[in-house]
Amino acid sequence: MAKSALYAGYTYEEVLREFAQAVAGVCMMQLQNHADAEDCFQNTFVKLLTKQPKLSDENHLKNWLLRVAVNECHNLRKKNRRTVSFEEVTEEPSYCQSDDTLDVSWALMKLKPDYREILYLHYCEGCKVDEIARLLGRNPNTVKVMLKRGRDMLKAVYGGDEK
């Protein structure tokens, strides 16, 4: 069934290999709970199979997947109305790919979800302000302000530059 379906030139299996890390990262940053993040991750890829969206290119595909993942996480949070602190998550975070971004992951987890989401998309996934605004349904200027404030919050978590 899924092998012949193409998503912006990718088979379903190729989409999974190529974008699993990005979707998993968004889900974990959003939910801070491995089991819930796994559920939203799976729901995102199930929706790709069942909806069979018409996607024009790789960027459109990635943005679609990230948007669906964000929506799945928001829906789950609304449904559950519970949060789990980072300290309760026992597994090492593996959702950012490089050592530099992994180093900052623990600090991101200490931020409020809105800031964590925007900073993760910008720094770990390399999304530009306009892409983040589209993905999250926000004004680009709001995203810029939240990036600035989020950076300031990260500095506070890290101890900041003492000048």
pLDDT band at 95 (very low <50, low <70, confident <90, very high): very low
| pLDDT of 6 above 70 | yes
Kindly tell me if the per-residue pLDDT of 90 is higher than 60. no
Ordered by start, the domain boundaries in the chain are 12-158
Distances (CA, A) of 80 to 36, 76, 148: 10, 6, 30
For the chain, how many residues are written? 163
CATH architecture, range 12-158: Up-down Bundle (1.20)
pTM over 0.85: no
SS3 8: coil
- Tell me which residue of 22, 68, 70, 36 sits closest to 49, measured CA to CA: 68
Residue 144 has pLDDT above 80, yes or no: yes
**Confidence bin at 93 (pLDDT 50/70/90):** very low
Lowest mean pLDDT among 7-16, 33-42, 55-64, 101-110: 101-110
Region 38-50 average pLDDT: 95
Mean pLDDT, the chain, rounded, equals 82
DSSP letter at 126 equals -
Q: What are 23-32's pLDDT values in tens digits? A: 999 999 888 8
Q: Average pLDDT for residues 81-108, to the nearest whole number?
A: 54
Query: What sign does the CA torsion over 154, 158, 162, 163 have?
Result: negative
Task: Classify 85 in phi/psi space as left (phi over 0), alpha (psi -120 to 50) or beta.
Answer: beta
φ, ψ at 10 (rounded to 5°): -105, 150
Give 76-87 pLDDT, tens digit per residue. Answer: 988 876 555 554
